Structures are given as structure tokens and as C-alpha cells.
A and B are shown apart, each in its own frame.
Chain A
Amino acid sequence: MNEAQKILEDSVSRLFADSVDRDLLTRMENDPWNADLWQACVELGLPQVMVGEARDGMDGGWVEGFIVARACGHHAVPLPVVEQMLAGHLADRAGLALPGGVAGLLPAVIPAAAISGNTVSMTQRRVPWGRRADYFIGLTAQAELLLIGKDGSKCQAETNLAREPRDEVVLHASPILARGATDLPAEAVRWLGALLRSAQIAGAAAACLEMSVKYTSDREQFGRKLSQFQAIQHHLAEIAGQMASVDTMALAACVALEQRGLSAAGRDARFELAAAKCRASEAVEPLTRLSHQVHGAIGFTYEYDLQFLTRRLWSWRAEFGAHGEWGEYLGTIAQQEGGDGIWAYMTA
């Protein structure tokens, strides 16, 4: 990490450490918005991290995006910071600047049939914070980015296991406010969303590890600290290993994305992206199981902070595809390259 990246990590971590606590997380389960925290994120420039200088962005790359997303995961930030950052990046790639306000990031590809003249009509499911969106951002089957107004849309509130909004948005002749071609695959929201969720999982995993180390170092049973029991130490070591593996692969995928891009042609970064989300989603099971195990019953209570992380991990595991799906993609590559070619493909 270079100096600027360390400064970014420090400032983002400080903001979240100071502002996201049990009270806030608890309150936001019922009322999932906080204008002050959102404003603080905007002032820190987080939506603009992966936007070029030409559009007043920070001009950061995917490593910077990773740093922000990992910090969001670490602190269970209950706002669509990551989604806004991705929406801003996609708009930038399409030569557009996002208007002020909250972007609703549409997870599914917008098919040609949904577009009529200058309007869009379709249903999008599991839209993060769809209810708070001031406008929507999505990609068409031709990888054209659309900025869509709210007019004519309806929103049905739904949530994930962590009670983060994942709403059903019905667009009905909603106006296309701006559009721009991108050089991305049509499924880019899914690919890049998966990468950012991997970074969030890495962050939440690190927080689970820290919490587990602290709890077992404080709590005594049978006359000694829990962390002095070898069985507990091995659980902690396993959590650490899983965390490190997720973290390394997600960051490596960001580096690969910077170098190879996402073109949906040739040996781009899709292998690394798929490996990152596959690994991250698969790791959620041991990470959450062992973190809860070492905490005992207290970790299962609502009053204890671990559940804010683990409920997010269980949600993020499946969002933008779980390990089964990404594993199948990787397995298909293995079949295409063959047993004798897979090593050359991996190391290309």
C-alpha cells in the first residue's frame, strides 16, 4: 500500500470507527438511513473514489475501491457507500457525472425489451437502498449505461438478513435522463458488485477475528483465559487463515482488474474476480461458525456486536452470486483449458 492509500484507509476507518456503533446499527435496522453519516461519507469523497479527475473524482483505482469497501465491511457500515462508489465509477466509464443524491444501483441487466424510446419499464429485485434512491443506474444488454429518473417507479421495501434494504423496484415508463456507452460487459454490475462484496467480506472477517481474539482474551473459564485453551487457539488460527485467504484474493483481483480490465474477451480479470467471490463466499461458513463458537452464547444475543457482522456475512455471501455459482464459472474454465492447460491459464 502506498502512502496515499494508507491515508485513505486511515481516514475512512477513523470516520467509521467514530460514527458506526451499536446504537446506530440498532436504530438503522428499523429506519435504514442516517443523513449525517451519509453526508460525512460524501464529504470524505467516498462516492467519488473511482471517478476520474475530469469529473472531480479522486481518480483512484480498484485498490482504492477495495480499501473503502473493506473498511465498510469491517465496520458493518449500514449505508450504500459501496454501491454509490460503483455507480459513480460506472457513470464515469460512460462519460457521465452522477447527479447529487443517492444512486439506486440496478443489479440486473436491462434487456432491450424493457426500453421503449426514452423510457424504461421493468422490475428489478434486491436493489440496495432502492427506497432511498434519487435516480437509478443500470447497464443494458449492449453495456450502455442508463441514468434513469424515479418518475413512474414504485418501490416495495424488502431487506436482507442484516435488515439492509434490498428493495423491489418497479420502473414504469421511467425516463432515461442520460446514457453513455461503456467498454464493459453487460454483466459488469454483477462482476464488479461481486468483487466489492468480496472486499466487504474480507473486512467483516477481519472484524470477526479481532472481536474473537479480544473476547477470548478477556473471558475466563476454568480459572484461565479462553484464549489459553489450545482448542480455542486453533479456532482463532483458522479464522485468521480464512480471513487472510479472502483478503489476499480480493485484493489480488483488484490488482488484476487494474492490469487486465474487464472486457469479457480473452484472458481479462474475470478468473481472478470469480476466484475472489468464490473464495469469499465459501469462507463465510467457517468464519461465522467459528466466530460464534468461540463467543459462546453471548455472541448469539442481539446485544452483542458480533451479529451485526455475521448477519451481513450471510447476506453478502449470496449477493452478486455465491460460491456455487462462481465455482461453476471457474470449473467451466477448467474444462475449457483442460487439465494440461489450467496451470498456464492461472499463471498467464
Chain B
Amino acid sequence: MNLDTLRFPPYELPASLTPLRAEVREFLKQELGAYRPVVRSNTWDGTDAAFSRKLGARGWLGMTLPKEYGGHGRSALERYVVVEETLAAGAPVGYHWVADRQSGLMVARLGTEAQKKAIIPAITSGEACFAIGMSEPNSGSDLASVKSKAEKVADGWLLNGTKIWTSNAHNATHMIALFRTDFSPEAKHKGLSQFLIDMKTVRGITPRPIRDLTGRGHFNEVSFVDVLLPPDALLGREGDGWNQVTAELAYERSGPERYLSCFLLLSELIKVLEGKASPSALAKIGAELAWAASLRNMSLSVAGMLNEGKDPSLQASVVKDLGCHFEQRLPGLAQELVAMEPTLSDSGIDYQQVLGNLMLLAPSFSLRGGTLEILRGIIARGLGVR
């Protein structure tokens, strides 16, 4: 076992980013004034295409994507500051979230010239909404068992199958989906490929929203019936889908969103306790702030390692595991410290509504982007016991 793989080298954002942070903060103050706290508490589940276009107009989407294709060629750390500020403020980032976080990077890294030219400007402007087609009805955490088929036919690829838990598929302009291209029984991991799908031009894809326990529908079951894709819809290399997806999941697990989903609740809790917190209540709030500070430093360290071209996938799993515990603890702590019921948005004060909303959303935090059991398995492998 090598302890170095569990170390998080200190990473301080350069002081040169301070003006950018102030600029984003000011923009959000202007833009989010009309959003109620309960709406802001949806953070990266909150979808607002108009807001995404405004962010794009400011140059804050696709920041790290290459300039020659319409990206901004800025550093991952500049993007980190923008993401951190939008999440802490509870901006509705859901429409562009997946595109900005991972799909753009995938296209920039693996796409053909034509794919890059078509996709990157749409991501940068905030017009593209991406969905990720990974899980299937019988293939959740066990992604290698994906069965949806992509067959090579004369004029391209013919897709059939079903994807599930696909966030935003009903809004999506594009999807990157994992399909089996080699059906031989021994292929397993090796028989998978990724496809870049233009949802607006292709026929035969039907998203069916699945209502979640909040009563809203942000994820979908998506059926593919004889969907004909052009030959150049393949993303990356045929048969390399498993490796591509693994790299994609590292982008998905490393960001500040893994501990900031409930920050608005912490803010509201501090407000509602103003002037009436007992010493022991202060101590509990303080202990959670210590967690937040420690998670932020871990997350910054991961961003720094990514920026230096290192592979912090183990550290990213640790941050996500600890981060979702932190987020999931807060609603229970709030109930312990304040004698108020959680409410839906039709009643109660802001604090109660935010609490109610996040209480309902919290179970998803340790499921999305890799369940905590999967993450702990990854950590155990890093410790050399798996």
C-alpha cells in the first residue's frame, strides 16, 4: 500500500483568479435575485436554458475547450472558480452541466474534426444540453454488462435498446451513449463503443420521464428503436468505450459539486439560528464547516492534480465518498438543531422549503455518478486489498 496515492497535495488557486471570482459573484447576485432559495437549492438539477445562454455569453462555458474550435482555451482552474461560485450560489446550471463538465472534454479529446466543429461552439454558447446514456434497466453499477446494440450497417450504425436514469434526456440536444458493438460472449468490456448522437435530427429515440420521489421528472428511460446514425457518429474508437467511459467518470467524480449540493441548506441553517444558537449547536455547525473546509481543500487538490496532468481518480473517489456523507448529514442535523418541519414550496419559510427539498433529494447524492459502494470498492482497490 502506498500512502502517496491517498495524499492531497495542497493546492492554492492563484491570486490572479480573484478578479474572476468577484466578477462571477457579482453576475450571480444580479441574475439570481429573482430565484427563491428553494429553487436555488436544486443546484445542478435546476435547469434554465436562458440562464445557461447568459453564462455562455459571459465566456464561462466550455472555458477549457480549445480555441480553434470555439472554446476559450482557459485553464481548468479558471473553470473551477466559475463552477464553485455557481454551485455555492445555487445557480440553475443543469441545462449545460454535463456538456460543460464532461461531454465537451470528451469531444475535444476523442472527436473527429467535424464533431469538434459542430459541438464545441454549441457547448460554449450554452445552447447544447447533453445527456449521458450509460445505465440500462439490467445494467446499473455493473456497466460492463451493457446490452444495448449498435450494429454496423451499410449507411452507418443501427441502434436498439434501452437506457435508464438518463438525466435531462427530455431536454437534451445531444447524447453520448454507450452501446455494445461486439456481441461475442468473451468481449465483455472490450465490446463497447461510445456514440455522439444529435437528438434533434435522429429518429427513433423516445425519452420517457421517470418521476422521482420529489414528484418531478429529471431523469428518463430512453428507448432506441432502429435508430440509424451516420457512420461518423462513433465517438473515439470502436471497442474502446470502456476505457473512454472510465476516463469520463473521473471528470464526473472530481468536481466541487460533490460536496456543494447542500451548501444552501448550511447557509439557511446559519441564518435561522442567528442569535439563538446554543454553544453545542454552534459546535455542530462548526464541525460541518470544518468538513466543508477540508472537502474544499481536497477538491482543490484534485483540480490541481488534473491541471498538472496527473491521474487523481482514487483521490476523486475519496472526495465523492466523503462529500456525499457530508451532504446527506445536513438535513438530519438541521432537524436536530431547529424545531421546524420541512415543507414543500407551497408553505413554510425559506429555510423549511430548502430543508424539505434537500431532504427529498439527498438519497440521490450517494447514487449518482457512482454509488458509494462502488466508490468504496475503488478506494479498497487503491489500498491494495481488492
| Chain A residues in the interface with B (C-beta under 8 A) | 1, 63, 206, 209-210, 213-214, 216-217, 225, 227-228, 230, 232-234, 236-238, 240-241, 243-249, 251-252, 255, 259, 271-272, 274-276, 278-279, 282, 323-335, 338-340, 342-344, 346-347
Contacts and interface: CB of A to CB of B under 8 A. Distances in A.
Given A331-B284, A332-B282, A343-B267, A326 B321 contact: no
B3 A323 contact: no
Given A324-B283, A327-B284, A327-B290, A243 B6 contact: yes
Given A209-B383, A217-B385, 19 more contacts: A237-B321, A237-B380, A240-B6, A240-B383, A241-B321, A244-B6, A247-B6, A248-B10, A249-B297, A251-B8, A252-B10, A252-B294, A259-B12, A274-B286, A331-B281, A331-B284, A334-B282, A339-B266, A340-B267
A325 B286 CA distance: 9
Given A282-B287, A329-B286, A248 B301 contact: yes
B355 to A, nearest CB: 13
B10 A245 contact: no
A346 B292 contact: yes
Contact of A244 (B271, B273, B318, B384): B318
B263 interface: yes
Given A210-B1, A237-B380, A241-B321, A335 B282 contact: yes
A338 B383 contact: no
B297 A330 contact: no
A225 B10 CA distance: 36
17 contacts: A206-B3, A237-B379, A237-B383, A243-B6, A247-B7, A252-B293, A275-B289, A275-B290, A279-B294, A323-B283, A327-B283, A327-B285, A327-B290, A328-B283, A331-B281, A334-B270, A346-B293
A324 B9 CA distance: 28
B376 interface: yes
A330 B380 contact: no
Given A1-B9, A245-B295, A271-B293, A334 B285 contact: yes
Main secondary structure of the interface of A (DSSP, over half): helix
B322 interface: yes
B296 interface: yes
A282 B322 CA distance: 14
Which among B267, B297, B301, B377 has the greatest number of chain A C-beta atoms within 10 A?
B297
Contacts of A326: 286, 290
B269 A240 contact: no
A271 B289 CA distance: 10
Identify the interface centre among B277, B296, B318, B383: most chain A CB within 10 Å of its CB. Answer: B383
Nearest to A282: B287
A335 B379 contact: no
Nearest to A326: B286
A331 B285 contact: yes
Contacts of B224: none
A330 B270 contact: no
Q: Which of A63, A232, A248, A259 gathers most chain B CB within 10 Å? A: A248
